[in-house]
Amino acid sequence: MSRSLKADPRKATPEMVREANPPMGFEPILSNSPFGWENGPIFERTDDQGRERGFRIAERHINAGGACHGGMIMTFADILLATAVFEVAEPPFVTVRLTTDFIGPAFQGEWLSGRAAAKLAGDGMIAVEGTMKVDDRVIATASGLFKALRAR
């Protein structure tokens, strides 16, 4: 098959979207990161409260205890916080620090989503905070510091 006929590896296929069964309004994001792609698909919607990202917890996300693996929650936290950075800085930017507080478990089949907010902290640094939930149940909170690699 010629390269032009292959699916874009950064996009979720229709099968992946059906399997994830995102809530109304969520669309798959483009992933520019092979690591992010392997852990997705991640979805996003925008409403009057801003951007919200989420994913359906799949079997591949589960730890030995039967809950969503903390590493997956931290991966999602990094993707989620970066969403907010786009509101105040142009790419490229990098994660300098990421702190995640685990509040409760999330399980296979559940929809985990979150929102984050960013503010400039000076010298190209951006401070970000976010919360991840399943329905109204808080699963984790995260805070981070990102560094813009060029001036806006």
- pLDDT, tens digit, for every residue of 11-37? 677 888 888 899 999 999 876 667 766
- Asked if residue 2 has pLDDT above 80, the reply is no
- Give the pLDDT mean for 64-70: 96
User: Quick one: pLDDT at residue 9?
Assistant: 57
User: Quick one: pLDDT at residue 78?
Assistant: 95
User: Quick one: pLDDT at residue 38?
Assistant: 75
User: Quick one: pLDDT at residue 5?
Assistant: 43
User: Quick one: pLDDT at residue 152?
Assistant: 52
- pLDDT, tens digit, for every residue of 98-147? 999 999 999 999 999 999 999 998 899 999 999 999 999 999 999 999 99
Q: Where are the alpha helices (DSSP H) in 42-97?
A: 70-85
- pLDDT, tens digit, for every residue of 72-104? 999 999 999 999 999 999 889 999 999 999 999
State how far the Cα of 68 lies from the Cα of 37, in Å rounded to an integer: 17
Confidence category of residue 1, pLDDT binned at 50, 70, 90: very low
Cα→Cα distances 128→22, 78, 111, 116, 131, Å: 25, 10, 22, 7, 11
Cα→Cα distances 111→28, 34, 98, 134, 143, Å: 14, 22, 22, 6, 21
Asked if residues 42 and 113 have their Cβ atoms less than 8 Å apart, the reply is: no
Asked if residues 118 and 126 have their Cβ atoms less than 8 Å apart, the reply is: yes
C-alpha closest to that of 142 among 129, 126, 124: 129
State how far the Cα of 88 lies from the Cα of 135, in Å rounded to an integer: 28
